[in-house]
Amino acid sequence: MSKGVKWLLIRRASQLGFLALFLVGPLTGMWIVKGTLASSLTLGVLPLTDPLMVLQSLLARHVPEATALLGAALVLIAYALLGGRLYCSFVCPLNMVTDFAAWLRRRLGLKEGLGLDRRLRYWALGGVLVAAAATGTIAWEFVNPVTILHRGLVTGGILTGGAALLVTAAIFLFDLGVSGNAWCGHLCPVGAFYALVGERSLIRVVAQGRDACNDCMDCFTVCPERQVIAPALRGAAKGVGPVILSRDCTNCGRCIDVCSKDVFNFGLRFRNEQLARGVTAVKTKIIAIAIAVCLGFAGITGATAADVKGLRGSSPDTVDKASATFKVMEGTKHARYFRDQPPLVPHAVEKYDIDLELNHCLRCHEWPNSDKERAPKLSDNHYMDRNGVKQDRVNGNRYFCTQCHVSQVEAQPLVESTFKPVTMTR
């Protein structure tokens, strides 16, 4: 791998890899990870939950399920060891957007813009926690750009996709036109939270070759948190460093990529003296491999198809694979076989998701979409509660369509029926 782009390519591969894990299920039906970055379930076994979301839930006086608490504990332990802001540089999908805005600012020669205090993000984090306690809800998750973007990418709905596009565009234009690295470096409470989590983490960037520094300032130019570099790089006379100990460092590796003198590398926080004399290439590779392996388990944090609080429990409703195609099934003449039987669905539904945030069936069958899609409109009783009171939206008792409706297929019975009726006589 050529000098100058190694860690950039690793970051992009990591970010796109996590997205691919979440998208492969909705796109192909092969579910590796269910959920989003707020909460997920990997291979049906490993729960991972955003600890910030769990903290909001606790402050809102709602105790999450045991699996959510376990998932949050796993994530906290991983980021506490590896560095909390690894989430920002290796997992968060918005990082690609803000990186592009920063690159474009440099290409256009734009000035720094509005000066923002980096402590604002910690104030924002405090506001998020206060809002949760005051409202009794996980209020931040309704406006969290990461949650909105990831939900839009995973679900692919019109509303969620539109919201994701608007939020992403707003952050891009804000970073581009108002201030460089404004969102991630100054305002984002998620980054502030993970910075606190990883304040004592083991994996750190180390200026092990700072004696060779030629003051080119390339590392300061590309670093999104440039205030973290000086103590480790310039602190030899004061006995400071060479390990970058600031919690704001994202461990992104940009300084490693751009330095022509090989001043920087990854190392461990508590081995200052040994790292000052230089860490061997073997140790550096081992640390890099450890980061990649652990991120595979810790990075998939994230609101919430796998751990959603549904009307029927903690898991979203699922549908059986009724057919391999979406064409209308032929050979069956009757839609109903007994009185009040719900009509059969004349197409496959294996790719149709139904949870509290998304119902693919309603895209075609709910008014006014039914006219445009030329699909049968939901009957009026779907808009009534148990007492017959009409509502302006589909009633919760009728929302999970596959509780009653199944795909129409021609299938032979698994076991031949030998039942014979008995003639009743008086």
Look up residue 208 and give its amino acid.
Answer: Q
Under DSSP, the state recorded for 382 is G
350 & 256 share domain: no
Q: How far apart are CA 381 and CA 300, in angstroms?
A: 41
Structural domain contains residue 351: yes
Task: Please identify every stretch of the chain with a pLDDT value under 50, giving residue numbers as ranges.
Answer: 1-2, 273-282, 297, 300-334
Q: What are phi and psi of 257, to 5 degrees?
A: -65, -45
111 & 155 share domain: yes
The b/e string for 227-251 (b: 16+ C-beta within 10 A; e otherwise) is ebbebbbeeeeeeebbbbbbbbbbb
Structural domain contains residue 369: yes
The last residue of a domain, from among 275, 307, 339: 307
CATH of the domain at 382: 1.10.1130.10
Q: Tell me the two tokens of residue 336.
A: 């109903």
pLDDT at res. 426: 57
Distance of CA 368 to the CA centre of its chain: 32
269 & 347 share domain: no
| Burial category of 304 from C-beta neighbours within 10 Å (exposed 0-12, middle 13-18, buried 19 and up) | buried
330-349 per-position pLDDT tens digit: 444 445 556 667 888 888 77
Q: Do the strands 46-49 and 203-206 form a parallel or antiparallel pair, or are they unpaired?
A: unpaired
Number of structural domains found in the chain: 2
Other CB atoms within a 10 A radius of the CB of residue 105 amount to 19
Q: How far apart are CA 117 and CA 35, in angstroms?
A: 34
Query: What is the number of residues in the chain?
Result: 426
206 & 66 share domain: yes
pLDDT at res. 158: 67
Helix (H, G, I), strand (E, B) or coil at 71: helix
pLDDT at res. 339: 62
The last residue of a domain, from among 307, 337, 366: 307
Helix (H, G, I), strand (E, B) or coil at 46: strand
Structural domain contains residue 217: yes
Helix (H, G, I), strand (E, B) or coil at 211: helix
Q: How far apart are CA 345 and CA 327, in angstroms?
A: 11
219 & 267 share domain: yes
Q: How far apart are CA 172 and CA 29, in angstroms?
A: 32
Q: Tell me the two tokens of residue 53.
A: 């979301």
The b/e string for 338-365 (b: 16+ C-beta within 10 A; e otherwise) is eeeeeebbbebbeebbbbbbbbbbbeeb
Structural domain contains residue 417: no
Q: How far apart are CA 391 and CA 268, in angstroms?
A: 60
Under DSSP, the state recorded for 381 is G
278 & 391 share domain: no
pLDDT at res. 87: 94
Q: How far apart are CA 315 and CA 377, in angstroms?
A: 28
Structural domain contains residue 154: yes
Structural domain contains residue 313: no
Provide the domain limits for residue 281. 1-307
Other CB atoms within a 10 A radius of the CB of residue 282 amount to 8
